[in-house]
Amino acid sequence: MAVLDAPRIVSARTEYEDSHTLARFLATGGNDALRKALTMHPEAVAAEVDAASLLGRGGAGFPAGRKWSMLRRSAISYLVVNGDESEPATFKDHFLVERDPHQLVEGVTIAAYALQVSQVFIFLRGEFALGLERVQQAVNDAYETGALGNKIFGSNFSLDVVVHPGAGAYICGEETSLIEALEGKRGFPRIKPPFFPAVTGLYGEPTVVNNVETMSNLPWIVLHGGAAFAALGQGRSTGTRLFALAGQVNRPGVYEIEMAKNTFRDLIFDPALGGGLAPGRSVKAIIPGGVSAPWFSPDQLDVPLGQDEVAEQGSMLGSGSVVVLDDSSCVVRAAWRITKFFSRESCGQCTPCREGSGWIERAMYRLEHGGGREEDLDLLLDLCDNIAPGLTWPPQQTTICVLGPSIPSSVNSAISMFRDDFLAHVRHGGCPHD
C-alpha cells in the first residue's frame, strides 16, 4: 500500500488553479520562510539545510548542504539555478516553474542569503516560454513587494535575480555546460578537474549550481526545520520528492511522495497515483530516473523509490522520472529512439560519445526498421563497452561529461533483458509490431 500521509513540501500550493499568482502566494504563507531566514544568521540557515540532508533534485543527488559548505570557504560567488530540465520524460521542474514560481524565487532568495551571494541567475529552458514569463513575473513581484532588491524586507541583505533563457540543448543541464551557455558560449561541458563550479564556475568565480526543485524545498525547510525534513523518508533519502510518471500508465503526472517509503509498484498502481495500466496490460519494463538510467524489469517493481535503494539494484533515481513500458510496446523501438536522442544531443567534444552515439543509433535503426543482423547485438555491446568500459553501473568515464557514459544504459538493458525481441526483429527483417 502506498504511504501518502507525508506533507506536501513543494507542491501544496499547486492545488489551487491560481497557484502561480502573487495573491495566492501571499495568502498561503508566501515569504514567511524568507522573513524568518532573514532574522537568522546566514550560517544557521545553511545549517538547517545541512540538517535536512537535502539531496540535490537535479539528477546526481549530491547533498545540497555539502555543495554549499564547499563554497563557503572561498571568496565571492554566484548562485545559478538549473531549470534546464531536458532529461527525457522528466517534467517536474516544468511543473514547479509554471505552477509555483514565487516559491522558487523565495527558495532562491533564502539560498542566496545563506550563501551571502548578491547575484543569482535562474537558467530556464528556452522552450519554457510560459515558465519564463511566470518566473520573471514572480521576480518582478518580489521586487515590487520588497522581497528582492535593495535591503530585502528592511534587512541588510540585497539581491538581484536575473532570469536567463536557454536555447535548446540537452547538454546545458550539465552544470559546467550551463555555465558556458550563461557566459554566452556554445554549451560545451568543461574539462574536469576542477569537478565543481564551487571551485571555478561562472566567470571563473566560485559558483553554486542548484536545481529548481532543490530550491523549492527551502521555504519549507526554513519554516519547519531541517530535522522535520530529515524525519521524512528513509536513510539518505530524506523529505519528499516529485516523481514524474510517464509512459503507458492510466494517470501519468507529477506526484509528490515521501522518499523511499513507496515502491515503483505503489507509484504505478496506486489509484491516487499512476492508477495502473490499461485493461489487460502488464509491465514489461520500467525506465527509472531518466533515459540515462539502466532499466528495471517487473521483478523490481517492489524496489523502494529511494536514492540508495535504486542504486543498489544497479540503476538510479536520477531526475525523478519513471517511464512505464507495457507488454504491447516494442523495446527495440524505445531503445532506438533513446539512442537517437543521445546522438542528436552529443555536443561533439569527445570521440567516444560523438562517434559512438551515431554508430549505435544506426545499428539500432536497422534492427528496428529492417536490415539488422544478429551480429549487431555483439557490435552494439562492443560499442557501448568502448564508451563506458566494462559496462558497469555507475559507468566508467571516457568522456568529459556523463552524457557519453549514459548512452549504453538503454541499449545494454534492452539487449540483456529482451534478447529474444531483438532476434525476432532480425528474423522478421524489421519490427514485428508494425
Please give the residues from 285 up to 304 whose contact with other proteins meets the rule CB under 8 A: 287, 291
Residue of the chain from 25, 229, 296, 341 that contacts other proteins (CB under 8 A)? 341
SS3 (DSSP) at 100: coil
Residue 254 interacting with other proteins (CB under 8 A): yes
Residue 334 interacting with other proteins (CB under 8 A): yes
Backbone phi and psi for residue 63, each to the nearest 5 degrees, phi listed first: -60, 125
Rounded to a whole number of angstroms, the minimum distance from the CB of residue 375 to other proteins is 26
Cα dihedral sign, 87-122-166-207: negative
Point out which span in 54-62, 148-156, 221-229, 299-307 binds other proteins (CB under 8 A): 148-156
Cα dihedral sign, 63-68-74-76: positive
Cα dihedral sign, 5-6-10-13: positive
> Burial code of 162-177, b = ≥16 C-beta within 10 A, e = fewer?
ebbbbeebbbbbbbbb
Rounded to a whole number of angstroms, the minimum distance from the CB of residue 144 to other proteins is 6
Residue 272 interacting with other proteins (CB under 8 A): no
Residue of the chain from 33, 159, 293, 401 that contacts other proteins (CB under 8 A)? 159
48 Cβ contact list (under 8 Å, min separation 6)? 221, 222, 225, 226
Rounded to a whole number of angstroms, the minimum distance from the CB of residue 296 to other proteins is 15
When the beta carbons of 152 and 259 are compared against other proteins, the nearer one is: 152
Residue of the chain from 63, 149, 314, 430 that contacts other proteins (CB under 8 A)? 149
Helix (H) or strand (E) holding 254: strand 253-258
Q: Which of residues 105-144 bind other proteins (CB under 8 A)?
A: 116, 118-119, 125-130, 132-133, 136, 139-140, 142-144
Residue of the chain from 32, 160, 308, 385 that contacts other proteins (CB under 8 A)? 160
Residue of the chain from 11, 14, 53, 90 that contacts other proteins (CB under 8 A)? 90
Point out which span in 61-69, 214-222, 333-341, 386-394 binds other proteins (CB under 8 A): 333-341
* Closest alpha carbon to 331 in 254, 268, 424, 265: 424
User: Which residues pair with residue 165 across a beta bridge?
Assistant: 124
Residue 183 interacting with other proteins (CB under 8 A): yes
When the beta carbons of 50 and 87 are compared against other proteins, the nearer one is: 87
Helix (H) or strand (E) holding 419: helix 419-428
Residue of the chain from 48, 85, 106, 258 that contacts other proteins (CB under 8 A)? 85
SS3 (DSSP) at 92: helix
Rounded to a whole number of angstroms, the minimum distance from the CB of residue 85 to other proteins is 5
